[in-house]
Chain A
Amino acid sequence: MKRLFSSFCVLATIAVASLSAQGWAQNQSQNQSQNQSIVVASTTSTQDSGLFGYLLPIVRQKTGIEVKVLAQGTGQALDTARRGDADVVFVHAKSAEEKFLAEGFGVKRYPVMYNDFVVVGPKEDPAGIKGKDVLTALQTIKTKAAPFVSRGDRSGTHIAELKLWNEAGIDIAKDHGSWYKEIGQGMGPALNMASASNAYVLTDRGTWLAFQNRGDLAILVEGDKRLFNQYGVMLVNPAKHPTVKADAGQRFIDWLVSPEGQSVIAGYKINGQQLFYPNANDPNA
Chain B
Amino acid sequence: MNEFAQALDTAVSLICHLDAELREIVFLSLGVSLTAALLAFVVGAPLGTALAIYRIRGKSMLIVVANALLGLPPVVVGLAVYLLLSRSGPLGSLGILFTPTAMIVAQAILGVPIVVALVHRIMVDVWASYGDALLVDGASRLRASWPLMCIGREGLLTAFLAAFGRAIAEVGAIIVVGGNIRGYTRTMTTAIALETSKGDLSFALALGIILVILSMTVSAVSFLLGRVLTGR
| A23 to B183 alpha-carbon distance, docked (Å) | 11
CB of B201 within 8 A of CB of A213, answer yes
Within the assembled complex, what's the spacing in Å between the Cα atoms of A70 and B186? 11
Could you tell me the distance in whole angstroms from the C-beta of B171 to the nearest C-beta in chain A? 13
| Chain B interface size, under 10 / 10 to 19 / 20 to 34 / 35 or more | 35 or more
Q: Which residues of B contact A281 (CB under 8 A)?
A: none
Report yes or no: A27 in contact with B199, Cβ–Cβ below 8 A: no
Q: Is B87 interfacial (CB-CB < 8 Å)?
A: yes
Task: Say yes or no for B60: interface residue by CB 8 A criterion.
Answer: no
Classify the interface of chain A: helix, strand, loop or mixed. Answer: helix
B160 to chain A, nearest CB (A): 8
* B28 in contact with A23 (CB, 8 Å): yes
- Tell whether A188 pairs with B199 under 8 Å between CB atoms, given A30-B184, A69-B182: yes
- Nearest B residue to A191, CB-CB: B199
B231 within 8 A of A: yes
- CB of B229 within 8 A of CB of A85, answer no
* Shortest CB distance B196–A (Å): 7
As a 0/1 sequence over residues 93 to 110 of chain B, the CB contacts with chain A under 8 angstroms (1 = contact) are 001011010000000000
Closest to A192 in B: B199
CB of A65, distance to nearest CB on chain B (Å):
14
How far, in whole Å, are A69 and B178 apart by their CA atoms in the complex? Answer: 11
Is A214 engaged at the interface, CB distance under 8 Å to the other chain? yes
Pairwise interchain contact B35-A16, C-beta atoms closer than 8 A: yes
Known A2-B146, A24-B31: A211·B230 in contact at CB below 8 Å = no
What's the least CB distance linking A7 to chain B, in Å?
6
Query: Quick one: which of B201-232 are within 8 Å of A by CB?
Result: 201, 222, 225-226, 229-231
Tell me the minimal C-beta distance from B193 to chain A in angstroms: 9
Q: For A22, list chain B residues within 8 Å (CB).
A: 27, 31
**Cα distance A157–B92 when bound, in Å?**
31
B87 near A188: Cβ-Cβ < 8 Å: no
A contact residues around B231 at 8 Å (CB): 4
List chain A residues, Cβ under 8 A from B30. Answer: 19, 23
A192-B35 Cα distance, complex, nearest whole Å:
35
Does chain B have a CB within 8 A of A218? Answer: no
Contact B95 A243 (CB under 8 A): yes
Listed in ascending order, the chain A residues whose CB lies under 8 Å from chain B are 1-2, 4-5, 7-8, 11-13, 16, 19-20, 22-24, 26-27, 30, 39, 44, 47-48, 52-53, 56, 68-71, 83-85, 185-189, 191-192, 195, 210-214, 241, 243
